[in-house]
Structure 1
Amino acid sequence: MRTVIIGGVAGGMSAATRLRRLDETMDIVILEKGPYVSFANCGLPYYVSGEISERDDLLVQTPEKLKARFNLDVRPFSEAVAIDASNKTVSVSHVDATYELTYDKLILSPGAKPFIPPFEGIDEADSVFTLRNVPDVDKIMTNIDNQKPKKAVVIGAGFIGLEMAENLVHRGIEVTIVEMAPHVLPTVDSEMASFITNELVANGLNVLTEKSVVSFKNQGKTLILNTGESIETDLVILSVGVRPENELAQSAGIKLGMRGGILVDASYETSVKDIYAVGDAIIVTNQITNEDTMIALASPANRQGRQVADVIAGMKRTNRGSIGTAIVRVFNQTIASTGLTERQLEKLGYDFQVVHVDGKNHAGYYPNASMIFLKLLFNPKTGEIYGAQAVGADGVDKRIDILATAIKGKLTVEDLPELELTYVPPFGSAKDVVNMAGYAALNIIENITQTIQLHELEDVKKTGAYLVDVRTKKEFAKGSIPGFINLPLNELREKMNEIPKDKEIILSCHSGQRSYIASRMLAQYDYNVKNLDGSYLLYQAINENKK
């Protein structure tokens, strides 16, 4: 039996090695149109700066090593140009010659390709690059080494765009980011992205949001924006998203779905018998909404590759879908997310609530403790966890991994305080920020407290709400949200008579913890009170770089 795999990275190579472990006699052929298989594409930006110093470290495996260990027939520079499903053959182009390769089972793992908008003048631009594979990074490195650019523009502020921006700065290049969306990292919510914008600006980057490039002038050295502004640059990185590599599948009569993604069933089989597909090019089920989605991430692709190998080997495996868990480091801050965002939930019309909590990556009294700011989205009736986002200098990965596991395991917010997480001062806290998020969410579900979000504040101001900041006088003097008066928490009982009972009371502090205490106090004296979720910490992050 012969299984042919088209695409030798992530999903394709996971399928190949798993198949060999399950069947020593199978003929396994991997076709890769590029020069390399099994390379570390997620590590490419860090090679640009020298953080990954050796190019060979990006090459995880070679055809020779894969042959020796797994007896795989790996064929680089071999592009599958046509599939004849009726006769079960693949036409392969290699060094100006084409040959036919028969198969019993065929796995498509073509991945995705960078989307290149039809900018006016882009065809005449000399120094415009995308980053998806090793040849791409080679071109960028050659340009940097030979042309020695002083200025660069990164178009698109997604994960790859921000990674490239950071690593270009580490090369001593002045970087401008242009993002069409209202904020960087459009895959997270705006207030969480504010922390990353602040980190970019603090490291000298020029961040332009709600702006887009419309044309290239002067051989790509001058970029014209939709506002009429122009930017001079020596180097351009295009990072505006990816599109599935679907041409081969389409030509074979395989059904496509949203955004041209390849449709597969629960066993990864396409609409054509004995042809399977995995990785960035396929449509998967979002495990939270049960709707079709596309998730171009390495971890799901590797899992899918292993599972499709199991299916072909006769084992029962089901594609359960994905929730989209991702992380990116931006200088000294890290931001990660899992599940659905607030914007997605609003679009879906879901009933949901939000809590923001802050905590430390480890015990606050232990040296070098740093803040983690976490956002949790959940169903206020059932406690189902819809999503989470976190930002901080250290420990963000652990917390989002925990919450991603909770979503996959169908835990609710009621389970989060029950999680027994490791604690010793260098590594955690006795009440981890994940536990605290669960407590805060339960307080809302059980109507122990009521909250409002920062974006709702202007509306409640118009209704005549009374705004109280319970931080210390010293904290309040350093900065406050307009409209709030200062009544420190420790003086609140003595000065309670200064607070009107005929108005809605909105309480704020640094992050919402002390104002929660104040809200419980006032509620028991029959005040109509709400806690401002995220409080001044969130307000400050959002407004730090506003003119």
Structure 2
Amino acid sequence: MSKKVLIVGGVAGGAGTAARLRRMDETAEIIVFERGGYISFANCGLPYYISGVIRKRDRLLVQTKEAMEARFNIDIRLHSEVTAILRDTREVEVNSGDQIYRESYDYLVLAPGAAPIVPPIPGIERAGIYTLRNMVDVDRLKALVTQRRTGRVVIIGGGAIGIEMAENLKLVGSDVTIVEAAAQILGPLDEDMTKLVGKTLLDNGIKIILNDGVKSFTGQENIEVVLNSGKSVEADFVILAIGVKPENKLAREAGLALGERGGIKVDDYLCTSDPYIYALGDVIEVRDIVTDQQALISLAGPANKQARIVADNIAGRKVKFKGSQGTSIIKVFDLTAASTGNNEKTLKLNGIPYVKSYTISPSHAAYYPGAIPIIVKIMFSPEGGTLYGAQIVGKVGVDKRIDVLATAIRMGLTVFDLEELELAYAPPYSSAKDPVNIAGFTAANILKGDVRVMHWDELDSLAKDSYILLDVRMDKEYQQGHVDGALHIPLDSLRERLNELPRDKQIIVHCKTGLRSYIANRILMQNGFNAANLSGGYDLYQVLQYQYGKAINMNEQMTRQEK
């Protein structure tokens, strides 16, 4: 007997479920309800269409109603909103605009996604304040750009959408200001790793206001964005990019179980508390594979995988969704920032002990032209070295390295496993010791006790007279810039000058990126000194010293080679 399956919502989750289910079951009756006018479009490409990077609007339409119906024999009903779930009779109520009717089901799939957060700020309902979530939103913003009405733009929120919109509106000549209530942009990254992203935004003329939320929107012809600090910013229009929340209204009113974060609760098979109703995508809570806690992870990759799993389970295959780790990546002008797994904030919140390390490596062989440094930060278990999270910032080669580290986390690998990975090498693409290997070597050295590591933010907690900061770079490097109060002894002279170092104080060593200071540490430790290596070296110090709105003396390339 054939199944009748109703799917609420299109785009990645709903449309993907429908297509997969048809491939698994040619006899099933499949109906997709989409309240908008498009069955599937590229959410992640919307900012790039506004700027003209993606020139043709049709490129955003992943699939059309007509093409999908013809290929998959699916009944697609656009402009049709499911307004209620009648679980007792296994029916849904549908408002198509022209009529309200009921449709029965054997199985129901909920994929309504998430909605932009629009907080109750005074004046937020006024004209000129927009969100970006669907094709209607992008058409409105594109019209403003086309009409050259994008002079001054204030973006509320410094997450991925806010940053991408800032870049693309800057490309069309807008004067852009980002307002972020938190102390940092890009929440999935730790604050230290966002410093280069912030600098890149500022270098490209985008203003950033941190630690300041919006109090109200006022003004007559233009919008005055009044901040909690009392400051205000004038804008021709405003984009709300504060974040998203699960579209849980249908599920909540139907009595389905919800999680603490407001997402629909599902089991390992993505089934809700009702055995005939499945859910997937931005609307559900998933298991964080690192913390084993429930989380909201609004990303296209997990949603597409969940679509296949839901379809397989309805078709009779028992397939589990094993959880998510929130792997993400963002382009910010010529910079790339990426993360996977847990950041420090999440690990601390969940009380998980961890060790962290920073490495700075060239994107490919340093002797081959065009090598540019990338900063790799990893968090791992102090017992056994299991990898918990990774973050990378750089200009070239970030994507391939974050994917390797994401795979390592997914498979439960340790930093010792990173040492063993055999990754593709040729001078234009990598080094014989890939940056991922280097991150593994460094972390393994820490756990094996071959080096004691110190982080720049830990120095403030030490008594000033309890340690010596030792700079082992070359004379020319030291003269070009150094940390005040640091003792300078080049690495190649260290053995002959050990008598200049006190044995009753800790010797905290740094070079430019960490390699030479590691060698210095090995010399010092084997000569009886209490030594520690400053993770990330002078390059990371310069990044961490960066303050928004304040210039720093920072080589644009940072370093091409560790000498």
Q: TM-score surpassing 0.5?
A: yes
Matching of residue 194 in structure 1 with residue 195 in structure 2: yes
Aligned to 1:544, what secondary structure does the other structure show? Answer: coil
Helix, strand or coil at the partner of 2:462: helix
Q: 2:12 aligns with which of 10, 13, 21?
A: 10
Contact 1:328-1:335 within 8 A present in 2 as well = yes
| 2:120 corresponding residue in structure 1 | 118
Tell me if the contact between 1:516 and 1:531 (Cα under 8 Å) persists in the aligned partners: yes
Is the Cα contact below 8 Å between 2:261 and 2:285 reproduced in 1?
Answer: no
**Cα separation, 2, equivalents of 1:268 and 1:352:** 31
Partner of 1:453: 455
Per the TM alignment, residue 376 of structure 1 is displaced from its structure 2 partner at its CA by 0.8
1:44 is aligned to 2:41: no
Hey, what's the Cα distance between the residues in 2 that align with 1:241 and 1:271? 27
Match of 2:143 in 1: 142
Displacement of 1:532: 0.6
Q: Describe how 1:342-381 pairs up with structure 2 within 5 A.
A: 342-381=344-383
- Conservation of the 8 A alpha-carbon contact between 1:127 and 1:143: no
- Counterpart selection for 1:75 from 74, 77, 86: 77
State which drifts further: 536-545 or 207-216.
Answer: 536-545
SS in 1 for 2:6: strand
Alpha-carbon distance between aligned partners in 2 of 1:238 and 1:469, rounded to the nearest angstrom: 46
Q: CA contact under 8 A between 2:341 and 2:406: conserved in structure 1?
A: yes
Tell me what 2:309 maps to. Answer: 307
Query: Is 1:198–1:541's contact at 8 Å kept on the other side of the alignment?
Result: no
Deviation at 1:461, TM superposition (A): 4.5
Deviation digits for residues 252-277 of structure 1 (CA, Å, limit 9, x no counterpart):
11111122110011111111220110
* CA shift for structure 1 position 91: 0.8
In 1, the alpha carbon distance for the partners of 2:232 and 2:527 equals 59
Aligned to 1:415: 417
Deviation per residue, 1:174-230 (Å, 9 max, x gap)? 111111111111221011000101111111111111111111011561111111111
The residue that corresponds to 2:205 in the other structure is 204
The 3-state SS of whatever aligns with 1:280 is helix
* Counterpart contact for 1:469–1:488, Cα < 8 Å: yes
For residue 463 of structure 1, report the CA deviation from its aligned partner: 5.0
Matched residue SS, 1:60: strand
1:410: how far off?
Answer: 1.1
Q: CA deviation at 1:147?
A: 5.3
- Contact 1:466/1:505 (8 A) holds in 2: yes
Aligned to 1:336: 338
Q: How far apart are the structure 2 equivalents of 1:460 and 1:474?
A: 29
Question: Could you tell me whether the CA contact under 8 Å between 1:328 and 1:336 is conserved in 2?
Answer: yes
What does residue 158 of structure 1 align with?
Answer: 159
Q: What is the aligned-residue RMSD (CA, Å)? A: 1.1
Specify the alignment match of 1:175 in structure 2: 176
Shift of 1:149: 2.2
Matched residue of 2:11: which SS? coil
Deviation string for 1:155-186 (max 9, x for gaps)? 11111110000000001001111111111112
Q: Is the 8 A contact 2:297 2:326 kept in 1?
A: yes
SS at match of 1:135: helix
Q: Secondary structure at the match of 1:83?
A: strand
Q: Which residue of 2 aligns with 1:286?
A: 288
2:461 alignment partner AA: D
Of 256, 265, 268 in structure 2, the residue corresponding to residue 254 of structure 1 is 256
Question: Please, which of 520, 523, 530 is the counterpart of residue 521 of structure 1?
Answer: 523
* Cα distance, 1:143 vs structure 2: 2.1
Within the alignment, does 1:326 sit opposite 2:323 as a pair?
no
Decide whether the 8 Å contact of 1:380 with 1:444 is kept in 2. no
In 1, Cα distance between equivalents of 2:511 and 2:224: 46
Farther-moved stretch of structure 1 (344-353 vs 376-385): 344-353
Q: Matches of 2:227 and 2:485 in 1, distance apart?
A: 37
Structure 1 unaligned segments of length 5 or more: list them.
none
Measure the CA separation in 2 of the matches of 1:545 and 1:201: 11
Distance in 2 (alpha carbons) for counterparts of 1:475 and 1:174: 38
Name the CA distance, whole Å, in 2 between partners of 1:16 and 1:475. 60
- Where 1:136 maps in the other structure, the secondary structure is helix
| 8 Å CA contact 1:253, 1:272 repeated in 2 | no
Is the Cα–Cα contact under 8 Å of residues 2 and 28 in structure 1 kept in the other structure? yes
Question: Which sections of structure 2, spanning at least 5 residues, go unmatched?
Answer: 551-563
1:217-296 correspondence to structure 2 within 5 Å: 217-219=218-220, 221-296=223-298
CA distance in 2, matches of 1:364, 1:71: 55
Within 1, Cα distance between the matches of 2:23 and 2:148?
Answer: 47
Bigger mean CA offset, 308-317 vs 487-496: 487-496
Amino acid at match of 2:408: A
Q: Alignment length, in residue pairs?
A: 546
CA deviation string 1:49-101 (max 9, x = no partner): 10000000000100100011111111110100111011111111112311111
Contact 1:201 1:207 in 2 (8 A): yes
User: Contact (CA 8 Å) 1:191, 1:538: kept in 2 or not?
Assistant: no
Aligned partner of 2:553 in structure 1 is none
Which residue of the partner structure matches residue 558 of structure 2?
none
**Maintained 8 Å contact 2:364/2:428:** yes
Shift of 1:483: 2.7
SS at match of 2:528: coil
What are the Cα deviations for residues 101-159 of structure 1, in whole angstroms up to 9, with x where unaligned?
A: 111100000100000111111122x2111111111111111122235221111111111
Separation in structure 1 between the aligned mates of residue 483 and residue 59 of structure 2, nearest angstrom: 49
CA distance in 2 between partners of 1:350 and 1:41 (Å): 34
- % identity of equivalent residues: 48
Check the 8 A contact 1:508/1:532 in 2, yes or no.
yes
TM-score of the superposition, structure 2-length normalised?
Answer: 0.95
